[in-house]
Amino acid sequence: IQELLRVMRTIDDRIVHELNTTIPTASFVGKVDAGQTCKELYQSLMDAHTSRERIIKNCIAQTSSVVKTLREEREKAQDDVALLKQLRKEQTKV
């Protein structure tokens, strides 16, 4: 999941770079449709953010489920140190 988030941040960086390089300077104003370019870049950015939000929420849901399971196991085996460490690790993720 962290790798996916890193890739999505890279996408954002590319969009910002593209925005900076495609908005026309005064000498190119008549040659490029800046409005359309901005709309396309905006849509790309919104798609990336929507996808990122969905992945983050999915990660939280999965990790929360693991934490719930580990808590139940922990109640049954309170002396299991390895289980406690795993539970703490998963709680930290959330």
What is the helix (H) or strand (E) element at residue 40, kind and residue range? helix 34-76
- Which has more pLDDT, 15 or 46? 46
HSE toward the beta carbon, residue 80, CA cutoff 13 A = 15
Structure tokens at 9: 């941040």
Of residues 93, 91, 62, 87, the one with CA closest to residue 75: 87
Spatial neighbors of 59 by CB under 8 A, at least 6 apart, are 1, 93
Query: Residue 12: its pLDDT value, please?
Result: 79
Q: pLDDT (tens digit, 9 = 90+) per residue, 27-75?
A: 665 666 767 777 887 888 788 889 889 988 998 899 899 999 988 888 8
Query: Residue 29: its pLDDT value, please?
Result: 59
Of residues 32, 46, 37, 43, the one with CA closest to residue 18: 37
Query: Residue 57: its pLDDT value, please?
Result: 93
Rounded Cα gap, residues 94 and 75, in angstroms: 20
- State which amino acid sits at residue 34: A
- State which amino acid sits at residue 18: E
The ranges assigned to domains in the chain are 1-23+31-92
